[in-house]
Amino acid sequence: MSCPNFLTKLFYFLTFFILITSCGPDFEEHKVSLDSYEIEDGFSIEVVASEPLLRAPVAMDFDTKGRIWVVEMTDFMKNLDGTGESDATGSIKILEDLDKDGVADHAKTFLDSLAMPRALALVYGGLLYAEPPNLWFLEVKGDSPGKKTLVDSLFAVSGNPEHQPNGLRMNLDNWIYNAKSNFRYRLKDGEWLKEPTSFRGQWGISHDNFGRLYFNTNSRQLLGDYILPNRLIRNHYYIPKTGINQRLTKDERVYPLQPVPVNRGYEAGILDKDSLQLEVTAACGPLVYRGAAFPAGYKQNVFVCVPEANLIKRNILTFYGDSTSAKQAWEGKEFLASLDEGFRPVSLYNGPDGSLYIVDMHRGVIQHYAFLSPYLKRKSKETHLDTIIDFGRILKVSHRPSKSGGRINIEGLTGRQLVKLLSDSNGWIRDRAQQVIVQNKLTKTIPDLKKLALNPKLDLAQVHALYSLEGLEALTPDLLIEVARNSDADVAAHALVLLENFVSEEYASRVQKLISELKQRNDISLDLYLSSTVGTWAQFSQKLFFPFIIEFYGKYKGRQIFVDAILSGVGGTEEALLRDLKQSSEKDLEGLIAGLNDILKRKSEDRPSNIFVAQTAREDGRTAGAKLFRQICASCHGPSGDGTDGLAPSLVHSRYVSKPMERLGLIILHGLKGPMIVDGKEIGDNWVMPALGNNKSLTNSDIANIMAYVSNAFSVSPQGISPDKIEELRSKTPTRGGEYTRIELDSIYPSIK
C-alpha cells in the first residue's frame, strides 16, 4: 500500500466522519426549569419539547412511530389588541428525538402559512386538520403532504377560536368527534361522511374505555354523556331531556398557588380575600386517562386543564349504569399547579408509553380580544403577561415507580400483531391498532378478530374487535347475538347497538328472544340499551317488541333517561305505539304518551331537532361585533377603544357604554354630537358621532353585536341587547333631527351620571 493511497483513504474517512458527526439536531435542546411546578406525590413531570422548536402549541397527536405532530396557533393574541390574527403564521410540525434522550431536538415543518389552525388527527394514513372555515384531509407521503381533500367547507366560522369547533378525536365507533360542534366525520369507501350528533362542549373532547364522550365549557370543568353517542337522538323529532351534555360535577373550585389576573376579577365570587381564583373560568382540554402506567386508582380519571390558574385538575368518575358523576380528587390542592404564569395547559393526551402529555401553549394572554375586559387588559400590561408570546412546550407526566419502556412504535406490524394489541392495557395502543386495521383494510385479520370478539375474559378487547369488524364490514347478526348472549353488560350493549345495522323481519324473532334473555340479568346499564333498541326493532314487529317498551318504562318509572332512550328508538311507529299505550291495562304511562304526542306534533309542523338543521357553528355575537368595531369604529375610537385626541373620546369605562343599553343604541343608530362628558369634564364641542342607522348594510343583529362587544370590552358591567330592541330604537329619532345631544339623551335617561 503506497503512502499517498493511504493518505487519500484517510482523508475520505475523516471527511465522512466529520459529515456524520455534524448531522446533529437542528436546535440545541432548550433547558427549561420546572422547579416552580408542584405535582402530586409519586409523579414526575419533564419537558419533552420546548421553544425554539415550537411556539404556541394548542393540539397534538402521535403517529405510529411514536413521534409528536403538533399544531401551532402563533397568530393568537400576539398583543393585547389581538391584531395579526389573519397573518397566517400557524403551522403543523413533526417533533423528533434523534438522540433518544427523551427530549425533542428536531422539528420538521409539515405545513405552514396556516391561519389560526386548531386541531389535527392522524387517521386513515393521513392528516386531518382544521383551519377555519375548512376541515382538510392530507395524504402523507413519507413526511411530506400528498393529495389534499376538502372534507367540510363549513367546519367552523371564522373568528374567535374560543368558540370554534375543535378536537378531532376518533372514538371506538370509528367516528371522529369534536367539541363546540354537532357533527361527526368518517372516511368510508373513499368518501367522507358527515353526520349530525349532539352539540358538545367548548375546547377539547375525550372518551372513556366504553366510548362515552367527555367535554367542558370555560365555567363548567367537566361535562359528559351518560350513554354512547347518538343513542338518544335517533328520532329526529324528539329532544331528549337528559343523558347528554350533562354536568358531571358542580364542584368548580380551583386551588392555584398564586394570585393571577383573571377576566372580570373585580366581580364578587371570582377571587378570594387573598386574590386567589375561586372557580374555573377557562376550563378546557379534558382527558380520560386510559394508560397503564399510573396506579390503579387513576384508571379512567378525568384530568382537566385550567390554564388561567396555571394548573391541571384531577376528577374521579363513578358509573351508575344509567348515569355518571365526577368528584375532584382532593380539596385544597391540585394534581399539578405552577407558579409559572406562562404555564397554559390547553389540551391533554394519552401517550403510547402510558404517560400523560400536556400541551402548554405558554402564552401570557389567552383571553381573546373580543372577550378581554378592561380589567384583565390593564392587569396583563402591569404584570407584563403580554410579553410572553414566543414560547411553547410539551410536558410529560409519569408515575415514578412505573417503567413505561419508552414510546411504542407500531409502524409496520402485521395484522396478527395488531389484533394482539387490541388486548393491550394501554388505551392509546388499542385505539391505534384498531384504526390501522380498519384503514389498511386488513381483511385477513377477520378470523382472529371474531375469535377475540367472542372471548368474554377480554372485555375491552372484545369492544375493539367488534368495531374493527364493523370497519371492515365483516360483522354478522349471528356473531353479535352470540357476543351479546355470552359477554358482560358493557360488551353486550355494544353488540345491541351494532345489531341495529341488521334490523329486518328476518332477525326480529331471534332478537326478541335475545332481549328476553338479557333482561333477566336485571342490569341497569344493559336495560338502558335494551330500552333504546326495542323501538327500532318494533318497525318490523310491533307485536314482539311493544310489550318490552311498556315493561322497561314501568320498571324504571321516574328515570327520564329511560323515557328518552325508548322514544329515541321509536321511529315511524309513534302513532301505533300511542294507540297501544292508550289501550293498555297498565297505568301511569303518561310520560311515554306525552313524549309521543310531542313527537307527532313536531312532525306535523316539520320541526326536527336543531342539530338536524344546523349546518355549522354560529359565530359568537361579541366576536362578530369585534370585527365590525374594527371595520367601522376603530378608525376614530382606536382598536383599543382609547379614543383619538380631537376626534373621538375614549370608550374605556365611559358612561356612554354603560347601562341602560338603550342609550348606547340611540347613539349608534342616530349619532351624537358634542360636547360630551369624559372623565367628568365637558370636552369636544365639535365632536360628532355619525349615525349608523342609515347604513343599510348593517342589520339589527350587527348593531346588537357591536354593542355586545363594546360593552364587554370597555365597561365593567357587560350588558346585551336584542335585535328586536334595536328595531324599536330605530324609530326613536332626535326631536330636532340630526344627531342626539348629550342634554337630550340625559333627559331621556336621567339616571346616567
For residue 448, the SS3 value is: helix
Average pLDDT for the chain? 89
4-8, 91-95, 314-318, 693-697, range with the lowest pLDDT:
4-8
Residue 420 covered by a domain: yes
Sign of CA dihedral 273, 275, 278, 279: positive
Place of cell 355518571: 324
Q: 533 and 426 share a domain?
A: yes
Q: 547 and 593 share a domain?
A: yes
- Pick from 406, 314, 409: nearest CA to 48: 406
Bridge partners of 753, per DSSP, are none
Residue 437 covered by a domain: yes
Domain boundary among 340, 369, 399: 399
Rounded to whole angstroms, what are the CA distances from 104 to 342, 363, 397?
Answer: 20, 20, 16
Q: 465 and 547 share a domain?
A: yes
Q: 154 and 173 share a domain?
A: yes
Q: 380 and 435 share a domain?
A: no
Residue 13 covered by a domain: no
| CA–CA separation, 570 and 563 (whole Å) | 11
C-alpha cell recorded at residue 714: 370597555
What's the pLDDT tens digit per position in 319-335? 999 999 999 999 999 99
What's the pLDDT tens digit per position in 515-553? 999 999 999 999 999 999 999 999 999 999 999 999 999
Q: 345 and 460 share a domain?
A: no
Q: 459 and 495 share a domain?
A: yes
For residue 499, the SS3 value is: helix
Domain of 641, in residue numbers: 621-748
For residue 660, cis peptide bond before it (omega within 30 degrees of 0): yes
Residue 499 covered by a domain: yes
Residue 165 covered by a domain: yes
Q: What percent of the chain has pLDDT over 90?
A: 67
pLDDT at residue 402 in the model: 60
Provide the number of structural domains found in the chain: 3
| CA–CA separation, 596 and 713 (whole Å) | 46
Domain boundary among 371, 399, 427: 399
Residue 403 banded pLDDT, cuts 50, 70, 90: low
Q: 647 and 556 share a domain?
A: no
Residue 667 covered by a domain: yes
| CA–CA separation, 241 and 612 (whole Å) | 17
Q: 213 and 81 share a domain?
A: yes
pLDDT at residue 636 in the model: 73
- CATH at residue 420: 1.25.10.10
- CATH at residue 241: 2.120.10.30
Number of neighbouring beta carbons within 10 Å of residue 258: 16
Residue 14 banded pLDDT, cuts 50, 70, 90: very low
Domain boundary among 612, 631, 666: 612
Would you give the distance in Å from CA 196 to the centre of its chain?
16
Task: Compute φ and ψ for 40, nearest 5 degrees.
Answer: -55, 145
Check pLDDT > 50 for residue 22.
no
pLDDT at residue 635 in the model: 60
What's the pLDDT tens digit per position in 76-126? 999 998 888 889 999 999 999 999 898 999 999 999 999 999 999 999 999
Residue 669 covered by a domain: yes
Residue 160 banded pLDDT, cuts 50, 70, 90: low
C-alpha cell recorded at residue 159: 373568528
Identify the H or E element spanning 536.
helix 524-537
pLDDT at residue 131 in the model: 94
Residue 18 banded pLDDT, cuts 50, 70, 90: very low
Average pLDDT over residues 275-290: 95
Residue 68 covered by a domain: yes
| CA–CA separation, 468 and 449 (whole Å) | 8
- Pick from 526, 529, 469: nearest CA to 500: 529
Rounded to whole angstroms, what are the CA distances from 638 to 380, 621, 632, 649, 661?
Answer: 19, 20, 10, 10, 21
| CA–CA separation, 637 and 2 (whole Å) | 85
63-72, 566-575, 618-627, range with the lowest pLDDT:
618-627
Q: What percent of the chain has pLDDT over 70?
A: 92
| CA–CA separation, 243 and 230 (whole Å) | 11
- CATH at residue 668: 1.10.760.10
Q: 692 and 633 share a domain?
A: yes
Check pLDDT > 90 for residue 257.
yes
Checking phi first, is residue 48 left (phi over 0); if not, alpha (psi -120 to 50) or beta?
alpha
Q: How many residues does the chain have?
A: 753
Residue 158 banded pLDDT, cuts 50, 70, 90: low
Task: Compute φ and ψ for 56, nearest 5 degrees.
Answer: 50, 50
For residue 662, the SS3 value is: helix
| CA–CA separation, 277 and 1 (whole Å) | 79
Check pLDDT > 60 for residue 285.
yes
Place of cell 405558554: 362
pLDDT at residue 639 in the model: 66
262-276, 299-313, 571-585, range with the lowest pLDDT:
262-276
DSSP 257: S
Rounded to whole angstroms, what are the CA distances from 648 to 630, 636, 641, 645, 746?
Answer: 15, 6, 10, 7, 20
Sign of CA dihedral 562, 565, 569, 572: positive
| CA–CA separation, 451 and 437 (whole Å) | 16
Number of neighbouring beta carbons within 10 Å of residue 280: 26
Q: 214 and 339 share a domain?
A: yes
What's the pLDDT tens digit per position in 709-746? 888 877 777 788 899 999 999 988 888 777 888 888 88
Bridge partners of 484, per DSSP, are none
Check pLDDT > 50 for residue 19.
no
Task: Compute φ and ψ for 700, nearest 5 degrees.
Answer: -60, -40
- Pick from 613, 712, 624, 611: nearest CA to 664: 712
| CA–CA separation, 101 and 523 (whole Å) | 50
Q: 285 and 322 share a domain?
A: yes
Identify the H or E element spanning 356.
strand 356-360
